[in-house]
Amino acid sequence: MTKLFSALLILLMLVQIVRPLGLPGLRKRGDFWKLAAFALVVFGITTLLRP
């Protein structure tokens, strides 16, 4: 599941660079770093919750 989620986030970052998603906070191409920060937080939480 983690691999699928990471692949999805990488795909979203690439799409954001090519053509911005238009969501609030993601209207410019340079906002892909927000997706990367979100991914780091999610993976951090995942590693804390895993046994």
- Render pLDDT for 1-51 as a digit per residue (tens, 0 to 9): 678 888 998 898 899 889 888 888 888 888 889 988 998 998 899 889 987
* Domain locations along the chain: 2-49
Q: Is the dihedral of CA 14, 15, 20, 25 positive or negative?
A: negative
pLDDT recorded at residue 41: 93
**pTM passes above 0.85:** no
SS3 1: coil
Residues 4, 23 contacting (CB under 8 angstroms)? no
Farthest CA pair distance, the chain: 38
pLDDT recorded at residue 23: 82
pLDDT recorded at residue 37: 92
In whole angstroms, give the CA distance from residue 28 to residue 23: 10
